[in-house]
Each structure stands twice: as C-alpha cells, then as structure tokens.
Structure 1
Amino acid sequence: MKNFFVTGLLIFSALNVIGQAKSQVKFTAKIENRNSDTLYIKGRNNFKQVIPIDKKGIFAATFEAPKGFYYFTDGTELSNIYLKPDSEVNLTMNAKEFDESIVYKGKGVEESNFLAQQSIKDEKFQNEAFKKEPAEFASLLEAKKKTDIESIEKGNYDPEFKAALKQNFESFNQYAIQEYDRASKANKLVGKPSPDFDYENHKGGKTKLSNLKGKYVYIDLWATWCGPCRGEIPYLQKIEEKYHGKNIEFVSVSIDKAKDNEKWKKFVIDNKLGGTQLFADKDWESEFVTSYGVTGIPRFILIDPKGNILNAEAPRPSSPELQTQLDALLK
C-alpha cells in the first residue's frame, strides 16, 4: 500500500468488526518474492493471528474470528481482507507487486477481492486526478463515487459489507477533497526557497539544509513506528546505491518523539541506514515539517542545488517515476 487512500481504507477496515460470534476461518497463502517468513492478520480488539511459513513454502492457519474487516501484513506491506463465517481463503501474490498481484480463491473471498481491486482503483485515481485542475478533479471524483457505488451494488456481496463500503466511499470523497487541497498548496511551493532546518545528525553534531547547497537533496520524512516508511527503506537503499557519487544528497529526517531518540539511533544502526540520518527537533510540530503542511508520512521532498523546491511531494523510492526524474536531473 502506497498512498493515503489505501491507508484511509485500512484504518476504516481495521476498526470495523461486524459480527460478534466467532467462526472458523481457513487461510492459506503462497507468496512469491516474500518479504518475510511470517504473515500477520490483525483487526479490532487487539486481534492478531500469526501465520508462519511451512516447509513447503506455504503460509497456513485455521483460526476463529468474528465476521468483519481485517488486514494482513508481512511486516513491510499490508492489505485489507474481509473474513466471513467458515471462509476458506487461498491467497496468491507476488510481494514485489503487492497490491497489483493479490488474488483470492476459495470460499467467501468475493469481498476480499473487491477490496484488493478497490485499492488499485484508488491509487490510480490519486495518481491521475490529483494532477487536474479543480473543476476537472471535482468531476472525476463525482464520477468515481458513482462508479464505486454501482460496482458494490451489482456484486453478490454480504449486505453488511455493502453498507460499510458505501459509508466508506463518503469518507473517501471528503478525505480526497482535503488531500487535493493540501497537494495544491504543496505544488505552489515549487520554485521557492525551501525552509531550512538544523537537526541532530546520527553521526554527531547537527546538519543544516542550507549547508547542502550545491547538491540536489532528496528528503525522506519518516518515523520508526511508521510501517509504510519502513516499507520504503529497501527501495531507498537501492536508490542511494545507484546514485552514489552523483551530485545528490539523500537525507532522512525522523519525526519520532524526543523520548524515542535512542530507539531511532538503534534503528538506524540495526538496519544499516545510509545517507544522512537526522532527528527533527519537535516531531510533527517541527518548523520544517509544518512549513510543508505535512499531515502524513512517509513524505519525500526534492530540493535543487540552489536550495529551491523542485518537488514538495516527490515520488517515493518504490516508484519508477523517481528514477526517471533523477536520471534527467543528474545526467
């Protein structure tokens, strides 16, 4: 999952258990290019089912769970799932193409397949509609709402699932409007001098953004507790390796709470994080963070050698678009 729409749906899903009585669920998964040897299914009321891989390379478990929304994660990525009484869920996917490759087969999986496809539609909408002018964006959003409702109505889905999704579509639209406005404000920053910072460096002392003038600067705003942030780390490490020796500085700024400073230091060491590792002074309230209107992480920012903003919401390391942009700048 790589965008705010999916995250919004995930939050909704994880907090909604429709049934009260528990029923048995059989779950198996075969995952290519897996990120982990353990899967977790999580939900409301601290529900957590741990599913280790077996000797045949299959994740398999039989457990009891109330009907409702959950999500599964391999510790790096995550996706929504809907469990019904006596479901027999057989998942196949490729972890390198996480959302795009998810397919559920078996008994009671129609709703889960809908959620998987919906996340792809939502991400596509974000990538396309957010580049449009306000009037066209509003028109596209209204058309999406109509299509979403039609698709949930015509499917043979659990009635309670349908009702919950319709409610979520409304929340989705409201959130989309807010995020579009935020993104529009971020776009207006392009070409202007970036706000500066003076943050603690993991290697000692402090580092100012202004000290890095003369180089392109790719900034990653993240935190140790942020799953999607951690999911971008392997991609960021590959990007850093590819452009090593080029005129670009990769700067990761943690917005962890001050009380978690030691946790941040240990995380950097344990995960062999490269680039310039910094710790913001006031987490979410740090002046640099608020100047960019940051409401969610990870957030990536690209600065030019003169210290001006090239992209206030740059592509993520996992996006091929980033390499295309950097190749053009650093040729």
Structure 2
Amino acid sequence: MKNLFTLLSLMLISLLGYAQEEVKFEAKIDNKNGDVIFIKNNNVIVKEIKIDDKGVFKASFPVKEGMYQMFDGVEYAGLYLKNGYDLKLTMNAAEFDESIKFEGKGAKENNYLAQETLADEKFGYEKLLALDEQGFAKAIEQKKADDAEKMAKAGLDANFVALHKRDLDMNLLGLQQYYTQVSANKKLNNSKAPNFDYENAAGGKTSLESLKGKYVYIDVWATWCGPCRAEIPSLKKVEAAYHGKNIEFVSISVDVDKDHEKWKNFVKEKQLGGIQLFADKNWLSDFIKSFNINSIPRFIIIDPKGNVVDADAARPSDPKLQAQLDSLLKS
C-alpha cells in the first residue's frame, strides 16, 4: 500500500508539473485593432486569444521555446516564448511599437525585442545602401559587432541570444543580397536601354524605339502578383497627374503564355491605363533578362534618347517617384 501511495503521489506530481509547462500571457491593450490576438510562428497560428471589450486577455498555452509574432490586426510584434514564462503586456495599439512594455518572467528578453524594433526603424539603411562595396562590408561587420556587444551587456537568456543572433545574421544576409542587386541595377543607369517590341492590348505591337522623344516609365508586373496589383490605384493616379506631359506609362506583363487571355481580360476589366504590353517570352524575354529582373513589381525610367535613367525606380505609391518625375520633366 505504501509503495502504491508513493507511486500515485509521484504520478500526481508528474502530472501537475506537466500541466504547468505552459506560457502564461496576459495583456491590457488600449485602442485594440481587433477582437482576437494571434500568436504565430512562421505564419502558423499557434494560439488565438480573444480580447474583451476593455482590451484585456489572459491565456495559458504550451510552446516550443523560440521566436514568435503577436498580431493585433495588421500590426505585429516579435515575441520570445518558452514554457514557464509569465508575461504581462501593456500596450496602446494606436502607438503600437512605441508603447509595448512587458513585466513578469520573460520580460527582459521581450522588452529587448520591442526596443530593438524601435532602434531598427531609426537605423540608416538608405545611407548604408548608398555606400561603396568596401564601405558597405565594413558597416555590416560593425553592425554585427554592435549587436553582439549590446546583447552581451543586456544579460539575456543564452538560448534567446543564440536564436536572436541567428535571426540577425539572416537579416543581414538578406540585406547583403539586396545590396548586390541594387548595385547591379545602378550599373545599368546611363546605359543604352535594349529595345522591346511587344504585343499591345489595344492592338498591334509597341516598341521602345517608337517611344523615343519621351520619357518612359515602365512597370514590369503580372496578373498573379499581389504587390503588383496593389500598385495599380497609385499608378492610375500618377498617370492622371502627368497626362499630356512628355512621358509615357508602359506596363509589361510577364504572365506565361497560357494566361494571355487572362491578361487581356484583366486589362479590360480593371480599365488599366497607359500602354499595356505582353512580354514575348515572359521572364526569358530579352528586355526582362537585360535588367536582371527576378522579382516583381519592378519599375524603370528611360529618357527621351533611349537611355536608362533609373533601372530600379520608385513605385507609384512612393512619393519619391513624383519628385523624380517633376525633376526630369523640368530639365
């Protein structure tokens, strides 16, 4: 009997211990964006948490230790979670990143992530991308050293440091790849633009050569591309703003041949303006390959003589575009 009692006690202790292996997470969110908070890991929803009318929630759930994201509507914040944490969050969703504050077990690591997000928003990435190759490489190494020193001084959880360092390294690798692409694009500026001669949705064909004497703003897109479609309202506004001026707006679709009719119908249904063209060999078209285009949307500006002004121009939704076009059209 004694042995049985001991065994049952050990089993009870084990079960209680297992039940406690969860994250406790509660919050008070002012001006909440929605009625549900989503905890995600690489776009996989780990937990849905309902928020009451006062912006309060309490939840407990098991996790695999690691990095997560907390979504409140379209806004999100990074989280570091592991079982045993007891987090208390206060936040004003109207000032999302600036107002995040954690208390309780695990607060140090999560406050670190929140503060780093703010610092990252102020980091001069545009200046970094404007550096020459030697300067860029030196700046990247300095940022790695600064990040490592900052984490060392903060006295953070060792597992958090290892995981966060991995994420930072991946981000910098992506930045280096982007820098390489931007540098390659810059080398195309001031060079002669290759010609194209593509099918026009309005009938016949249109070549770049036939547009000489005008500036040409080119939008490389596809009907299946969400970010491309998101630019359409802004592109229409820009076209309207420069109507009658010395500039043509040309959209080149890289849809595959089987989607040719889909493209024509899309142009008609959405009442797309400008000159709507269909690339002859989609991604393998000579013009597309000459600009090393491997992601879309991509925007290009050609001058009246057929030279490349900007091989990676601003998007229609970017105010910088109109400033650039105003400058060109005045010159």
So what's the TM-score if we normalise by structure 1?
A: 0.68
> In structure 2, what is the equivalent of residue 284 of structure 1?
283
RMSD (CA atoms): 4.4
Report deviation, 1:233: 3.5
Q: Does 1:304 align with 2:299?
A: no
> In structure 1, what is the equivalent of residue 243 of structure 2?
244
State the alpha-carbon separation in 1 of the partners of residues 232 and 58 from structure 2: 30
**Equivalent residues of 1:216, 1:303 under 8 A apart:** yes
Report deviation, 1:154: 4.3
State the alpha-carbon separation in 1 of the partners of residues 253 and 94 from structure 2: 32
The C-alpha deviation readout for 1:74-94, integer Å capped at 9, x for no partner, is 78xx86643647765746358
Distance of aligned partners of 1:206 and 1:70 in 2 relative to their CA distance in 1, 3 Å threshold: farther
State the alpha-carbon separation in 2 of the partners of residues 27 and 251 from structure 1: 50
Q: Secondary structure of the equivalent of 1:188? A: helix
> In structure 2, what is the equivalent of residue 162 of structure 1?
161
> In structure 1, what is the equivalent of residue 274 of structure 2?
275
Q: Secondary structure of the equivalent of 1:140? A: helix
Q: Report the residue type matching 2:197 in the other structure.
A: D
> In structure 1, what is the equivalent of residue 6 of structure 2?
none
Aligned to 2:79, which of 72, 79, 82? Answer: 82
Report deviation, 1:289: 1.8
**Equivalent residues of 1:301, 1:313 under 8 A apart:** yes
State the alpha-carbon separation in 1 of the partners of residues 69 and 261 from structure 2: 32
Q: Secondary structure of the equivalent of 2:188? A: coil
Report deviation, 1:153: 4.2
State the alpha-carbon separation in 2 of the partners of residues 145 and 41 from structure 1: 29
Q: Report the residue type matching 1:68 in the other structure.
A: M
Report deviation, 1:270: 5.5
Distance of aligned partners of 1:150 and 1:194 in 2 relative to their CA distance in 1, 3 Å threshold: same
Distance of aligned partners of 1:268 and 1:24 in 2 relative to their CA distance in 1, 3 Å threshold: farther
Report deviation, 1:217: 0.9
State the alpha-carbon separation in 1 of the partners of residues 224 and 35 from structure 2: 21
**Equivalent residues of 1:218, 1:303 under 8 A apart:** yes
Structure 1 residues not aligned, in runs of 5+: 1-19, 95-100
Distance of aligned partners of 1:168 and 1:43 in 2 relative to their CA distance in 1, 3 Å threshold: closer
Distance of aligned partners of 1:244 and 1:140 in 2 relative to their CA distance in 1, 3 Å threshold: same
- How many residue pairs get aligned? The number is 298
So what's the TM-score if we normalise by structure 2?
A: 0.68
Q: Secondary structure of the equivalent of 2:100? A: strand
Larger radius of gyration: 2
Q: Percent identity?
A: 40
Q: Does 1:131 align with 2:126?
A: no
**Equivalent residues of 2:26, 2:59 under 8 A apart:** yes
The C-alpha deviation readout for 1:64-122, integer Å capped at 9, x for no partner, is 795633485978xx86643647765746358xxxxxx7445254653653564365356
State the alpha-carbon separation in 1 of the partners of residues 321 and 220 from structure 2: 16
Q: Does 1:47 align with 2:45?
A: yes
> In structure 1, what is the equivalent of residue 318 of structure 2?
319
When structure 1 is superposed on structure 2, of 190-199 and 63-72 the one drifting more is 63-72
Q: Secondary structure of the equivalent of 1:221? A: strand
When structure 1 is superposed on structure 2, of 237-246 and 110-119 the one drifting more is 110-119
Distance of aligned partners of 1:48 and 1:21 in 2 relative to their CA distance in 1, 3 Å threshold: closer
Distance of aligned partners of 1:312 and 1:206 in 2 relative to their CA distance in 1, 3 Å threshold: same
> In structure 1, what is the equivalent of residue 111 of structure 2?
110
Distance of aligned partners of 1:119 and 1:279 in 2 relative to their CA distance in 1, 3 Å threshold: farther
**Equivalent residues of 1:217, 1:248 under 8 A apart:** yes
State the alpha-carbon separation in 1 of the partners of residues 297 and 183 from structure 2: 18
> In structure 2, what is the equivalent of residue 221 of structure 1?
220
Q: Secondary structure of the equivalent of 2:198? A: strand
Report deviation, 1:275: 2.5
**Equivalent residues of 1:217, 1:305 under 8 A apart:** yes
Report deviation, 1:307: 1.1
> In structure 2, what is the equivalent of residue 208 of structure 1?
207
State the alpha-carbon separation in 1 of the partners of residues 38 and 271 from structure 2: 25
**Equivalent residues of 1:237, 1:274 under 8 A apart:** yes
**Equivalent residues of 1:72, 1:81 under 8 A apart:** no
Q: Report the residue type matching 2:273 in the other structure.
A: G
**Equivalent residues of 1:25, 1:83 under 8 A apart:** no
Q: Secondary structure of the equivalent of 2:190? A: coil
Distance of aligned partners of 1:322 and 1:69 in 2 relative to their CA distance in 1, 3 Å threshold: same
> In structure 1, what is the equivalent of residue 292 of structure 2?
293
User: Greater relative contact order: 1 or 2 (C-alpha under 8 angstroms, separation 6 or more)?
Assistant: 1
**Equivalent residues of 1:104, 1:112 under 8 A apart:** no
